[in-house]
Amino acid sequence: MMYLLGVLVIALGIAVSIALHEIGHLIPAKKFGVKTTQYMVGFGPTVWSMRRGETEYGVKAVPLGGYVRMIGMFPPRPGDGGLLRRSSSNPFHQMIEQAREDSLDEVEPGDEDRVFYRLAVWKRLVIMSGGPLMNLVIAAVLVTLLLTVHGVGALTPTVSHVAACANADVANDDCAGQDPSPALAAGLEEGDTIIAVDGQPVSSWAETTYAIQSSGERATFLVERDGQRKSLTADLVLRERPLVNADGTPRLDADGQQVWGEAGFLGASPTFVYQPQPISAVPGFVGDMFTQTARVVFTLPQRMVDVAQAAFGSEERDANGPMSVVGVGRVAGDVAEGGLGVVTNSLADRMWILLSLVASLNMALFVFNLVPLLPLDGGHIAGALWEGLKKGWARLRGLPTPGPVDTAAALPLAYAVAIGLLGMTALLVYADIVDPIRLG
């Protein structure tokens, strides 16, 4: 039941995100007078629709996308005065001319000034960027709520568990024939807050771990217990362990591999809490999300090769790699069930994690839709920018103003991109079934 709840929450989040994305196109289009005949969420057969004024609003059977139909997306062929000729036997030319004809067939008498291609460049940029910007706003709002209301998970230097013996597994209390753990021998107790190690103040578990790592065989801990401060000395057990930096990140060598070394073992576990952040932390967090998402999008061809090798070979899936809606649904279901390393069993905390997934999906929609290729929004944005540059250059040189950029000429490439996206989706769905990403 909880697994299904997680899947439903993420499905609803995706559907709402798509609907708002299309509203980001619809509102400015209507504001600028473009005739919009349809607003649809999904693809395939129409499940439900209603007409308000000149626009049909509806939901289709496959809610994995959407569109706003605006008349006159493609201009007439340059030099034809709006007349169409389809005498060419070239299939690509026929495809382009058919698209022009279909676009102009939507223009009824009186609609000549309400076509998309006649708008000023800046208005077309506003309309086509409205969808991706809506996804950015959704991501930013959800991140703001996540950071300021719920908080970010952190390990604090308050002790939640003291190992009974010097096992490598802190939670293992089978101590037959073994010495007590350094923490237990030193008198450390659950609820103690470590505030200094060897005289060095610490405020996080990352700082505590780094200080213990640097202490050698013995460390002195200043702890706070029931409002009182106590000094405890622990004889640490030296073991080969992965080393960390002062900020808690893994220490890596020149090749990017984890560095191992001899470090002290204490035998105490930190306390996990969610710490609300100031609103000033939001821009940096959103910026990091954008950077990480853009890195995935820009390296997508290589990442798809890695996905194929994992799906059809013995390679492991990259936990930071792309996944389909099937994979996202599986992750959401596992989170709702309490899997994937979710530290808390609180249903509220799991719902917050699901909202963070929705925020990540919206950031992915924002970045991916800005790729300057049709049929993505970025392709229309690139066409408008190119037209703006041409007109600006013509004004500077005193030349006649050029006509609209012939975006219809890019349709063969747009169809190729669409086929590529379908193939990529099919591969990701297959990989998410046979070799899903395991988080946590």
Q: Could you tell me which residues are beta bridge partners of residue 68?
A: 39
- Joined together, the tokens standing for residue 25 give 């196109």
Verify that 315 and 384 share a domain, yes or no.
Answer: yes
Are 22 and 141 contained in the same domain? yes
Q: Is residue 175 within 8 Å of residue 164, measured between CB atoms?
A: yes
**pLDDT exceeds cutoff 90 at 197:** yes
Q: Is 387 one of the catalytic residues?
A: no
Residue 54 within a domain: no
Residues 427 and 308 in one domain: yes
**Same structural domain, 201 and 325:** no
H/E run at residue 335: helix 325-337
Q: What are phi and psi of 306, to 5 degrees?
A: -65, -40
Q: Report pTM.
A: 0.83
Question: Per the residue annotation, which of 22, 97, 207, 387 is the catalytic one?
Answer: 22
Domain assignment present for 230? yes
- Domain shared by 167 and 261, yes or no: yes
Residue 62 lies in a domain: no
The whole-chain average pLDDT of the chain stands at 86
Tell whether 368 and 421 lie within a shared domain: yes
The answer, yes or no, to whether the previous bond of 402 is cis (omega within 30 of 0) is no
* Final residue in a domain of this structure, among 217, 245, 275: 275
Q: Is the pLDDT of residue 241 over 70?
A: yes
Decide if 406 is inside a domain: yes
* Predicted confidence (pLDDT) at residue 410 exceeds the cutoff of 60: yes
369 and 401 co-located in one domain = yes
Q: What is the DSSP code (8-state) at residue 252?
A: B
Taking only the tens place, the pLDDT of each residue in 123-158 is 999 999 999 999 999 999 999 999 999 998 888 999
pLDDT value of residue 89: 54
Q: The domain that contains 168 carries what CATH number?
A: 2.30.42.10
Residue 5 has what pLDDT?
A: 87
What tokens were used for 357? 């997934």
Tell me which residue range forms the domain holding 27. 1-35+71-151+278-440
Residue 60 CA to its chain's centroid (Å): 25
Q: Which of 248, 275, 302 is the last residue of a domain?
A: 275
Is residue 84 very low, low, confident or very high in pLDDT (cuts 50, 70, 90)?
very low
Asked if 212 and 247 count as a contact pair (C-beta separation under 8 A), the reply is: no
Domain boundary among 275, 296, 312: 275
pLDDT tens digits, one per residue of 100-109: 676 666 778 8
Q: How far apart are CA 8 and CA 347, in angstroms?
A: 15
Q: Are 86 and 121 contained in the same domain?
A: yes
Quick: pLDDT tens for 270-286. Answer: 988 888 999 999 999 99
**Identity of the amino acid at 428:** L
Tokens of 80: 């034809």
The answer to the question of residue 138 being in a domain is yes
Domains: count for the chain: 2
Q: Tell me, yes or no, whether 354 and 435 share the same domain.
A: yes
pLDDT band at 87 (very low <50, low <70, confident <90, very high): very low
Tell whether 389 is covered by a domain.
Answer: yes
